[in-house]
Chains A and B, each alone.
Chain A
Amino acid sequence: MNVVRRKQDLRFLFEPIVDALGYKFSPDEEIVDFLLEQEVKLEDKHGIPFCPCQAQTKQRDHDMKIVCPCIPFHRKHYDTMKRCWCGLYVHKDVTDPDSLRQIPASAIK
C-alpha cells in the first residue's frame, strides 16, 4: 500500500462529491493530511474508508452512514456545525476551521 498515493487518490475521488454538497476540504492542511492517512489505514483494514472519528458498530445500516464522505447522511447536523464531524470537510465559506466546534447530533433541533 502506497499511503501517499492513496491519500492523493481519496482527495481526487472525494473533492467533486463534497463540492456538489457545498463543502470543501478544510483549509487546515495538517488535519486533512492526518485524517486522510487514518482513512487510508481504515480502508486497508476494513476495505472501506470509514470516518476516523465515528465508531463502527458492525451493524451495516449504521456503519454505511459513516463511510467518508458521510455528509449526505448527517446533512442537518453538519450544516449546523458548518463542518463534518471529524473536520475533514467544512462549508465552502469557512476560512477559519478552528472556530468551528463539534456539536453533538443530539443537540441539533
Chain B
Amino acid sequence: MKHVTLYALSTCPWCMKAKRFFTKKKIPFECLDYDLVSDKEQERIMEVVNQHGGTGEFPFVIIGKDGINGYDPDEYAKLLGIDK
C-alpha cells in the first residue's frame, strides 16, 4: 500500500471529508493540520507541498509520490487502486 500523507487545515470542511474518506476506507494515513503546528513546521510543510505542485490550497494529499490538491476521492481511489 502506498504511503498517504494528508496536509489539512483544522478549519476546512473538505479536509475533514478527506480524513473521513481514508478512515472509512481503512487506509492508514498520516495527517498534519497546518494551522495547528509551529511556524517552523508550517515552513517545512509548505516546502513539501510546493515540491509536489501545491500552492497552499488545502486539503493536500500525497499518495506515494503523487500530490493531489483538493478533495478528490476519485483520484485518491485511483492512485490507491481501490473502489471509490
Q: How far is the CA of A42 from the CA of B55 in the complex (A)?
A: 20
Q: How far is the CA of A6 from the CA of B13 in the complex (A)?
A: 20
Of the A-B pairs whose beta carbons lie under 8 Å apart in the complex, a sample of 5, sorted by A's number, is: A52-B11, A53-B15, A53-B58, A54-B58, A55-B42
| B72/A102 in contact, CB under 8 A | yes
- Residues of B at the A interface (CB closer than 8 Å) are 9, 11-15, 34-35, 39, 42, 46, 53-58, 69-72
Bits for A53-66, please: 1 = Cβ < 8 Å to B, else 0.
11111100010001
Could you tell me which residues of chain A, from 1 to 52, have a CB within 8 Å of some CB in chain B?
Answer: 31, 34-35, 38, 41-42, 52
Q: Count contacts on A: residues with CB < 8 A to the other chain.
A: 24
Q: How far is the CA of A31 from the CA of B39 in the complex (A)?
A: 29
| B14/A105 in contact, CB under 8 A | no
| A38/B11 in contact, CB under 8 A | yes
Query: What residue in chain B is nearest A41 (Cβ atoms)?
Result: B11
| B70/A101 in contact, CB under 8 A | yes
